[in-house]
Chains A and B, each alone.
Chain A
Amino acid sequence: MSNSKRLLSMLLFALSVVAIPLHARATDSADDGLHFYVDADFGMTGKTAAAIMLGLETALGEVDWRIAGRQVFLLPNDHRGSPKRSKQTMETFLHDPNALAVIGGKQSPPYLSYGAFINASEIPLLLPWSAAGPVTRLAEGSGNWIFRLSVDDSKAGPFLVSVAMRAGCDRIALLLLDTGWGRANKQSMLAAFEAHGKQPALLKMFDTELGPYAARSIARDIVESQADCTLLVSNPNSGVHLVTALYEAKPTLQVISHWGILGSQFARQVRHEMRQSLSLRVLQTCGLEAEIANSEELNGALESLRRSGHKVNRLSDIPSSAGFVHGYDLAKILIAASEQAARSEAWKGTSASRRAALKQALEHLEEPVRGILRLYRTPFRPFSREDTDAHEALGLSDLCLAGFREDGSLKAIRHKE
């Protein structure tokens, strides 16, 4: 290659690297609305992202897409499960003067990887479905910008262990995905076992791309361990193989799973008789309980949804309904906090000061917010070593288990802890 061509190639490369932020900036200047970035995997776990979007849109629809007199825009960014791409979204956000907050998707890894960057860059990040415990506890005091309205694995793990023990399981096996998320669950679950003075019958960590043969091998180990219950923390793909293999190896086993297996085609690929035989239950927040309780807020939200043209009779008609509930409640809190922040002086300053005002409002919400799951009086507080759940809107009391209907949709099980 000639030197001139080589130079041209380098130039092209440099352009391609900076092209995306430049483009973002160009579009930002076109309006003065408020930008909420949605950083989620719209590909493989697209249904969950869509449910979150639906929750956000329903809540925003109720305020006519306006906060503090400004038009609100939801800007979805597909990170495809790649933390790098998520970080790219954060960088785009930082260059957007109208950007106020980022709302996450289902995955935790991007924020486990780049949580420090997010806190350092003072990006308000609200997580409607990420479960990894450490995400909301990465920085202390005012340096912590990450909030969650979802199951917190530091609670979920002990919750699952406790449910299994209450269900009379004697020998409990743990099957955990070998990722940061799985490893975090491992820690909290083992601690829960220790607190009960017990040990798991078997502990297996498995790869993200588990195939049917490896799944059968794990199932054989489970049978050999003589476990009567299995707690599962898995992604949907590996979850399908594992649940199928467990059913083939020991149909009488009881399986209680983190909600990580939901999504994709899980309910279709794992037949109902398999789910029934294994008494398969998944961790959920108590949205479905609200459905049973005929909650006014839920009915209101569903009514809003119907008004916007969606044909929905009940919550469980919405695929990944937890995403909808969490998105809806989170948006309600975000709207209330934004309104509260808009009343502050800081709101009139730079984008950075508006974000700081939002954080301040989130941590000091003045008016209670009524959501589907609960009435949020002070969902968030300033984070400190003494109050490590300060950025958790939900607690142990918001966790429930759900079973499957024959059509694959979830139904509440009255086992509230």
Chain B
Amino acid sequence: MPLHFELGRRFFILTLFGYSLAVASAVLAVHFTSQPILKKMQREALIDHAASNAQNVEIRLARITQALTVVARSPEVINYAIGDFSSSERVKDFLSSIDVEDGLRRATVLDFLGTPLTTYEFEADAPTTFLPVELSVAAVSVVKENAEKATYVYRPSETPGHANFLITVPIRWRGMAEGALVFERSIDLSQIVDIKTTIGTQKLATRFQAQMSKVWGDEKNPTLMTPIPQTSFFLVLEPDQEAVRAIGNEIVSTVMISVGLILIIPFGLMCGAGYHSLVAPHKALQDSREQLRRKQVELRELAEISQRSNDAITVTDIEGKVIWGNPAFSEVTGYEIHEVIGKRPGDVLQGTGTDPEERDRISAAIRERRPVRSEILNYTREGRPYWIALSIAPLLDDHGEAYRFVAISSDITAQRAQKEAMLRAKREIEYQALHDPLTGLPNRRSLDVELEAICAAGSETRTLIRIDLDHFKYVNDTLGHAAGDFVLIEVSKILTKLAGNDDLAARVGGDEFVILLGADKQAEDARRLAEECLVAIRKEMEFEGRPCRVGASFGIASANNEIVSNSTLLLAADAALYLAKDRGRNTVATYSQKMHADVIEKRVLAAEIEQAIVEESFEPFFQPQIDAKTGGLAGLEALVRWRHPTRGVLTPDVFLPVAYQLSVVDAIDKIVLTKGLKTIEKLNRAGHQLPKISFNVVAKQLEDPALSDMTLSYNLAPTIIAFEVLESVLIEEQSTEFKFQIDRLKEQGFHIEVDDFGSGHASIIGLMHLSPNAMKIDQRLIFPLTELGSARQMVRAIIEIGKALGIQVTAEGVESEEHARILAAMGCDTLQGFHYAKPMDAQDLDAFLKRQGVPQRTANAI
């Protein structure tokens, strides 16, 4: 344990001892001088205690009596006692109606002369310990004294722990006691007397008992009798001498505590003063010795560390001249210590490659006597450059003044080289990420970053040109990819050359470029630039001695108007570009108000379509197909219609292009199919016996087994279900799964029909592979039938093909009787068109079928 701790402890123990001695002396003095007073106080304390307990008993009795007082104040009792219109029966009735506590035996009403008027027994035949005359005396007493409170007579009970009380409650009338209501009550004594108190045992006693206990009591331990106010009995306290003595001891201990507390102040002051004048200086001396010793140890350790350190350590004087260096310094620099003593390290170690600014920074820090850290290039004695991490700090004397510097340096050449290599690599990666490696132009990502930054800044509006090369594929296909790459590089050069310094040209796709114009450029500037670019791009280029030529289409969008924002520039320019392409390429188109309106319209239509799918507003319209030979109903084609909430019934040409873009055609077809099947089921139940119903589906839907499962869940017999697929299915490479599903559908009794045959690539081979049940000739071939002989020959040939392959032929677009006659004559099986009926909804179809009454081709006949 340190000496100063020991000293402090001894000092405090001594002070504490002195304090205890002082307190003990004071207490002894108090004890001897206060004995006579103490005895008197003990006696007084006993009397006070007894009086207080007697009052408690009175209060407790009063509490017990509270309810009885209320009874005595009731008009029944008062009127009876004063003799005013009340009978003993009324009083008894009243008393019998009140809730009473256990132990209440009887109540007697007495008038102001003490005459008992009536008695009510709460407990039948309860024994009484009081004479009638005692009741009268009690009543007269309260009347005479005009008492407001109840009085009590106490009588010990034969029941252990119980006592009988005569409780006399004054009956007061107009502020005067005019009689008394006297209750006889047995009370559990523990309810009113705390038998065991802090200073003795107490009990109730009659006057006689109290006097007797005085006569026969223990003289050494005299009992204390206190009359209880309002009563005729006493509270007898048999003091517990030990407890009484405790009262004295309590006083002594109070004095002790008080003296002790008071003495704390002087001793505390003494203790504080002693500590500051004696212990603290001694402790400070001890501390400084200890500090010195530690410093010596530290210095030794430091010297050892610096000798063994791999870092070069030098100590210079305040001028910065070396006065000491460690072995590592020699190892790093190649100089022996003695060679550099008295020289400035900078003069010896730094050379041409050293950063002069960094050198000045270090010099300034040394001049200002402040620490400095730096990374700086030094040279060894042999002239080899090396990087060091240098830390220079002033050494301060006791007054805080710098008197020397210590410089610690470590060789970081290797780390630095590594760091620089990493930085280079990172820059390279970042450049590659943002640039097109072929043309060196910023890439799509770079453009996005730029646009995002512009959108985030939000203040300036920008203009953008989107460029798509025309016929670039042709160059690639004919001259090879090298030529394509050449063209792209040339185009990028043109764009870079013609674009202004503040414009950003970027390659965003294969043959797609974008020029994001500078902040103050307008759509007109963009148009001029685009036209210049177009002229330059269209000039013939030469690749490896062969001429090659490309064109370009330009779409311009500018946020300098209210229809386009910076965030939608690319989309708007794209829309303008498509227009340029539509206009026949090699043109410049600007995103206009009208274009914007179209876009908005499509957007609205798209939202409405999605809503219509949710609400299932699409429904099938049915167009009858007629047997060309019999004129009977051969079937129905379900055609999609949209019951638009404001525009009425819409045909698919209005919404299908957008529905395709939204990829919701499947969903629409499904709604039409479900509703169509339900309608057919209903019509069949109504007795129409429809021979066939055709639904238009895309090839992909046929691959979905759910299509047939769902369809088969309806009871449609005898109607045949046919699925119409576009002619394009014939030439497309179909998967095995597709073929399998087609076979499965056919096995399940579904018909497959090829729609719009002759509108595209009418493939006979495809037709043979698919082997559909029917093919429908495109209506564009049917319309000119009446006028063009060539058309008639074409149609006839198709019908012949059908017959050759065993495929039923249906003609669409039959608009006149003449059409029907010609087609029937050609051997066409089924006719469909406005000549017979327009597509109609389920209700109209029902009416049509009823009205028509045409013979229907039976399912078996198909």
Looking at B19-27, B132-140, B635-643, B647-655, the stretch in contact with chain A turns out to be B132-140
Residues facing A in B89-144 (CB within 8 A) are 111-114, 131, 133-134, 136-137, 140, 144
Using A1-B208, A9-B134, A9-B137 as known contacts, say yes or no to A83 and B114 having CB atoms under 8 A apart.
no
Of B75, B174, B206, B207, the residue contacting A80 (CB under 8 A) is B174
A208 cross-chain contacts in B, Cβ below 8 A: 75
Given contacts A13-B133, A43-B176, 15 further A-B contacts (CB under 8 A): A6-B131, A9-B133, A9-B134, A10-B133, A44-B175, A80-B173, A80-B176, A81-B173, A82-B112, A83-B84, A84-B178, A85-B178, A113-B84, A207-B75, A209-B75
Q: Are A1 and B111 in contact (CB under 8 A)?
A: no
A45's nearest neighbour on chain B, judged by CB, is B174
State whether the Cβ of A195 lies closer than 8 Å to any Cβ in chain B: no
State whether the Cβ of B54 lies closer than 8 Å to any Cβ in chain A: no
State whether the Cβ of A260 lies closer than 8 Å to any Cβ in chain B: no
Bound-state Cα–Cα, A84 to B113, Å: 9
Bound-state Cα–Cα, A80 to B174, Å: 8
B176 cross-chain contacts in A, Cβ below 8 A: 43, 80
> Which residues of B approach A to under 8 Å, CB–CB?
75, 81-85, 111-114, 131, 133-134, 136-137, 140, 144, 173-176, 178-179, 206-208
Q: Are B133 and A83 in contact (CB under 8 A)?
A: no
Band of interface residues on A: 20 to 34
A82 cross-chain contacts in B, Cβ below 8 A: 82-84, 112, 173, 178
Bound-state Cα–Cα, A17 to B143, Å: 12
B134 cross-chain contacts in A, Cβ below 8 A: 6, 9
State whether the Cβ of A27 lies closer than 8 Å to any Cβ in chain B: no
Bound-state Cα–Cα, A44 to B131, Å: 36
Of B75, B112, B133, the residue contacting A84 (CB under 8 A) is B112
Q: Are B85 and A180 in contact (CB under 8 A)?
A: yes
State whether the Cβ of A12 lies closer than 8 Å to any Cβ in chain B: yes
Bound-state Cα–Cα, A88 to B179, Å: 14
Using A84-B83, A85-B178, A179-B85 as known contacts, say yes or no to A16 and B173 having CB atoms under 8 A apart.
no
Of B83, B137, B175, B207, the residue contacting A83 (CB under 8 A) is B83
Q: Are A80 and B137 in contact (CB under 8 A)?
A: no
Q: Are B83 and A113 in contact (CB under 8 A)?
A: yes
State whether the Cβ of A391 lies closer than 8 Å to any Cβ in chain B: no
Residues facing B in A206-220 (CB within 8 A) are 207-209
Q: Are A109 and B137 in contact (CB under 8 A)?
A: no
Bound-state Cα–Cα, A83 to B83, Å: 5
B165 vs chain A, min Cβ distance (A): 14
Mostly, the A contact residues are: helix
Q: Are A114 and B114 in contact (CB under 8 A)?
A: no
B174 cross-chain contacts in A, Cβ below 8 A: 43-44, 80-81
B140 cross-chain contacts in A, Cβ below 8 A: 13, 16-17
Residues facing B in A1-48 (CB within 8 A) are 1-2, 5-6, 9-10, 12-13, 16-17, 43-44
State whether the Cβ of A396 lies closer than 8 Å to any Cβ in chain B: no
Of B85, B136, B144, the residue contacting A113 (CB under 8 A) is B85
What are 23 contact pairs spanning A and B, CB under 8 A? A5-B208, A6-B131, A9-B133, A9-B134, A9-B137, A10-B137, A13-B137, A16-B144, A43-B176, A44-B174, A80-B174, A80-B176, A82-B112, A82-B173, A83-B83, A83-B84, A84-B178, A84-B179, A86-B83, A113-B83, A113-B84, A113-B85, A208-B75
Residues facing B in A76-92 (CB within 8 A) are 80-88
State whether the Cβ of A112 lies closer than 8 Å to any Cβ in chain B: yes
Q: Are A83 and B131 in contact (CB under 8 A)?
A: no
A379 cross-chain contacts in B, Cβ below 8 A: none
Using A2-B208, A81-B174, A88-B113 as known contacts, say yes or no to A179 and B137 having CB atoms under 8 A apart.
no
Residues facing B in A83-115 (CB within 8 A) are 83-88, 109-110, 112-114
Bound-state Cα–Cα, A28 to B131, Å: 36
A147 vs chain B, min Cβ distance (A): 22
B85's nearest neighbour on chain A, judged by CB, is A180
Bound-state Cα–Cα, A209 to B75, Å: 9
A39 vs chain B, min Cβ distance (A): 13
Bound-state Cα–Cα, A9 to B114, Å: 13
Bound-state Cα–Cα, A80 to B173, Å: 8
Q: Are B137 and A12 in contact (CB under 8 A)?
A: yes
Q: Are A110 and B131 in contact (CB under 8 A)?
A: no
Q: Are B137 and A1 in contact (CB under 8 A)?
A: no
Bound-state Cα–Cα, A43 to B176, Å: 10
Bound-state Cα–Cα, A208 to B133, Å: 33
B178 cross-chain contacts in A, Cβ below 8 A: 80, 82, 84-85
A179 cross-chain contacts in B, Cβ below 8 A: 84-85
Bound-state Cα–Cα, A2 to B174, Å: 37
**Which 3 pairs from chain A and chain B are nearest by CB?**
A83-B83, A82-B82, A84-B83
B179 cross-chain contacts in A, Cβ below 8 A: 84
Of A43, A109, A207, the residue contacting B84 (CB under 8 A) is A109
B206 cross-chain contacts in A, Cβ below 8 A: 1
